[in-house]
Amino acid sequence: IRFTMWKGLWLPSCNSLNCWPEDTPFSYARTVTKAESGSVNIGKIEASPHIGTHIDAPFHFDDAGATVEALDINRYIGGATVIEVGEGEAITLEAIESYRIEGTTLLLKTKQQTERTVFPESIPVLEKQAVEYMASCGIKLFGIDVTSVDAIDSKTLDIHHLLYERDIMILENAVLDEIEPGYYDFVALPLKIQGADGSPVRAALRYRGGFGDE
């Protein structure tokens, strides 16, 4: 795909999104009609902050970590590299080190089609050596097209913690179905929600070039 316009990475409809079993699913309801108010329709949204494409604040997995309103939004704007690694059980150092990484965001595409309605039983997980390599490349934001950077059944969340220790923020559930590997301009701003452990984002990419371009 070659495009100069911004390309969205979010799921097209929030209403049918899967969510973690203990999370609050997305819902929207109109609470006041225009006829009732005399001027406007008014609605109410209820959802987990980890619905759809979202960022994790460090507070999500560390009681002493920063909450969303304290995060530097510059982490979520800038140059990005997109790499396709396939659907294996582990994402290894070898899977990413052969690419020249540019920018401060790295996005990993692990599948060709995003499943929007069914919560996965398992997902590929980064090996620790891959995290160390990303840190050495100056990555400040890591994004992936699955629901977590750790295994579904993990309670220790080792990769969450290792990314945080290496000063790398986390973006999960990016929709990379139509995105080819290469270099992009990137934006995915979180909402400034006081005290929140995460936030939905409307992520988008603008193509800059492929790995084989001069």
Kindly name the residue from 54, 60, 160, 161 that is annotated as catalytic. Answer: 60
Rg (CA), the chain: 18
CB neighbour burial string for 136-151, b if at least 16 within 10 angstroms, e if fewer: ebebbbbbbbbbbbbb
- Nearest C-alpha neighbor of 203 from the set 129, 156, 137, 141: 141
The DSSP secondary-structure symbol of 201 reads B
User: Contact, 61 vs 157, CB < 8 A?
Assistant: yes
User: Contacts by 190-193 with C-beta closer than 8 Å and gap 24+?
Assistant: 190/54, 190/55, 190/57, 190/68, 190/71, 190/73, 190/76, 191/68, 192/68, 192/69, 193/49, 193/68, 193/69
The number of angstroms, rounded, from the C-alpha of 31 to the middle of its chain's C-alpha atoms is: 30
Task: Determine whether 161 is an active site residue.
Answer: no
CB neighbour burial string for 35-60, b if at least 16 within 10 angstroms, e if fewer: eeeeeeeeeeeebbbbbbbbbbbbbb
User: Tokens at residue 24, please?
Assistant: 């609050």
Residues with active-site annotation: 60
